[in-house]
Amino acid sequence: MSRLDAAQLYERFYGDGRSRRGVFEAIAGWRAPARALYPGSFIHVAASFEIPHVTYVDTDRRARRFFAAREQVLAVVRAEKRYDGPPSFDFIGGSYEHPLDLPDASHDLLVSLYAGFISKPCKRYLAIGGVLVANNSHGDAGLAAIDPDYALVGVLAGRTDRLRVSEDALDTYLVPKSGTPPTEEQLRRLGRGVAYTRPAVAYLFRRLR
């Protein structure tokens, strides 16, 4: 993949204000995570704009080719990063549902955005006290909400271009409109999130144990 190809591929999917870097910016301003694990990342390297080390995981062939062009990806990141020091990333071309070649508790942020049920199989790689950020698109926020190993500690609120972490009135979030929390089996069967009375852009959970 030529330099132009890597940058072009990123532009094609995440250019023109579609990077959602605000998600990572808000979290970096709140907790300053040093090491993030991003399963189901595709080529969403906006995480590296705000977080110094990111481990990306995806099965997609284009993602494999993108990250194999390491110097080109670093150039995309260097042009956008906001922290001091050099960016660093790893890429694992495999399924997050299988064991990953990573030490347990080796990351302080676990990212789950639009890519299925990540909170359970990848929990082991998140340090106790570390943060899971999950949205509700594929139901992973709902799964974390019923997992006693996680506790809701914040939500991402505000306009998509100016997100902030809110720690207020957390008991008003993740309240199902149906009145009954979904079971894991229901969420997996549905393959997407259930409706909540007060939705948030994404939910922040602390790993308790």
Q: Can you give the binding site for ligand SAM, defined by CB under 6 A?
A: 39-42, 44, 57-60, 63, 95-97, 113-116
Closest to ligand SAM by CB, 57 or 174: 57
Closest to ligand SAM by CB, 15 or 129: 15
The DSSP code sequence of 130-172 is: EEEEE-STTSHHHHHHT-TTEEEEEEEES-TTS-EEE-SSGGG
The DSSP code sequence of 58-91 is: ---HHHHHHHHSHHHHHHHHHTT--SSS--EEEE
Q: Tell the smallest beta-carbon distance from residue 30 to ligand SAM (Å).
A: 19
Q: Tell the smallest beta-carbon distance from residue 10 to ligand SAM (Å).
A: 11
Q: Tell the smallest beta-carbon distance from residue 187 to ligand SAM (Å).
A: 15
Q: Return the biggest CA–CA distance within the chain.
A: 52
Q: Tell the smallest beta-carbon distance from residue 21 to ligand SAM (Å).
A: 11
Closest to ligand SAM by CB, 40 or 182: 40
Closest to ligand SAM by CB, 58 or 108: 58
